[in-house]
Amino acid sequence: MTPAFFTELSDVLNRISTFNDPILVVGDVNIRLDRPDDSASRQFTDTLAAHGLACRVTVATHDQGGLLDVVATRDDLPLPPVEFVDVGLSDHRLLRWTTSLTKPSAGLHDADKAAVASA
C-alpha cells in the first residue's frame, strides 16, 4: 500500500463520516488485517477507527489464510452478523450480511428547482 492510498481513504472518510447515514466500507483491501504488527494493517485499522469505523470481520477470508476482505461499519451501530460462504469461484470467501438501509426520498436540488422555475 502506498501513502497515497491512505491519504485518499482518509479524505473520502472525512467527507462521508459527517453524514448521519450508515457507512459501510466493504471489499478486498489486500491488506493482511490478521497481522496487527504489519504497518499497513495498523494504518488501515487506525484510519477506520479515526473515523468511528470498525472492521466486523475477524476470521480468515482467503484460501491460504489471512483476513483480506472487510465489512466495516460505524462502531456505534450493532455488529452485523457476517456469514462466510465458499462459492467455489474464487480464493476468497463471499461475505454476506444484512443491514437496515433506507432509500432517501427523491428531492429537487436548488439547481433543479431553478431550472424548473425558469421553464
Q: Give per-residue pLDDT as tens, 38-68.
A: 999 999 999 999 999 998 888 777 777 888 8
Quick one: which of 99, 97, 95, 5 has its CA closest to 47? Answer: 5
Output the pLDDT for position 37: 93
**Grid cell in block for residue 21:** 447515514
Output the pLDDT for position 63: 79
Quick one: which of 111, 103, 117, 34 has its CA closest to 69? Answer: 34
Number of domain units in the chain: 1
- 103: pLDDT strictly greater than 60: yes
Output the pLDDT for position 111: 55
**Grid cell in block for residue 82:** 457476517
**Grid cell in block for residue 49:** 477507527
Collapsing DSSP states into helix, strand and coil, what is residue 95? strand
Please give the residue range of the domain that contains residue 72: 3-118
